[in-house]
Amino acid sequence: MLLNFADLRRGAQRRLPRFVFDYLDGAAEDERCLQRNGAALERLHLLPTTLRDTQRIDTALEVFGQRWAGPIGVAPIGLVGLVRPQGDVLLARAAARAGLPHVLSTASNSRIEAVRQSGAAQWFQLYVMSERAIAEQMVRRARAAGYSALVLTVDVPVSGLRERDLRNGFRMPWRPGPATALDVALHPRWLAGVARHGMPGLVNLSEHGGSASIEAQAAILARSMDRSLGWDALAWLRRLWDGPLVLKGVLHPGDAKRALEFGVDGLIVSNHGGRQLDAAPAAITALPPVLDAVAGRIPVFVDSGFRRGSDVVKALALGARAVFFGRTPIFGLACGGEDGAHAALMALRDELERTLTLLGANSLAAIERGHVWQAGA
């Protein structure tokens, strides 16, 4: 029975070859940032209020003119096609069924235009490589397809040292060694999908269809990005994109202040799920200083390490607008395809509503800073 994140994780581990599971589950170096994300959330407790009318719980909100059923979204996840054929489309459909937004990754394996047809509130996440023309054509296509926000990921000037991937020989072009080949053979359902559909390619790096060059795909997999990208690049993006622009990967309050100066429309506090700088703080720890720097002028979202609906409430009590999840829906996708991802998202929604009821808050607006309390404080 798949009741929670731990169940979904175990199910994904059973279904997927090790190199795919480790790509999704792993983090940088000693994976201490990954552990820190969870530990910091555990140190935050929720302090309930009593004798409140909670007959009806309203979790809906509006973000950039779109209505979401809850303050939960699907974070951008690369190489979803390794989990299930057409995985990006399935994940977007699951989000649409749950009434939640989906952020499509630059490293997706389905075309920007095809994923947009899911009906979900769609944002597009952008990596900028040295050849900026690749980014330009993706941004133009995302705008033409009707994506409502552009999410520039800013914490990948170079890839974190993801040692699990290195040990598994996970790189482009993919050439499995004997141990990986044996492991793949022991996962026949996964192998059958690859046999029918082929290994997924990074189809959006090429404007007119088909996979991009091996060099471009390798650059994305290694997170070999444009290391000259600076604040002045936002003007370049503004010429291409006239909708909301969100920066993802902000941890420093000084960067939050600069984002305001450059007219950014929103921030996502994130340490990339612990996959970049292993010495970085937990995202929930970095959230309050960023919120203080922004002072309510733009919405601040958060991801990295969130597992339960109660974790969402903790972030909202501190002042976040919503929380994005990566591993939870992707493990749901691994376990049960679109239905599995939808069930994982609906479980988060149910946990959120139950937590609000127990907290004595009948809406998101009723969540207060006093509802969260830090152990030892």
Q: Which of 102, 187, 272, 371 is catalytic?
A: 272
- CB 323, CB 315: distance < 8 Å: yes
Instruction: Kindly state the helix (H) or strand (E) to which residue 359 belongs, with its residue range.
Output: helix 327-359
The closest of 228, 263, 267 to 247, measured between CA atoms, is 267
Nearby residues of 116 by Cβ (< 8 Å), 6 or more positions away: 122, 145, 146, 147
| Residue 154, SS3 per DSSP | coil
Rounded Cα distance between 265 and 281, Å, is: 24
| Residue 321, SS3 per DSSP | coil
Rounded Cα distance between 314 and 298, Å, is: 19
For 41-61, give the DSSP string: HHHEEE----S---SS-B--E
Instruction: Kindly state the helix (H) or strand (E) to which residue 182 belongs, with its residue range.
Output: helix 178-185
Determine whether 272 is an active site residue: yes
Q: Catalytic positions, please?
A: 272
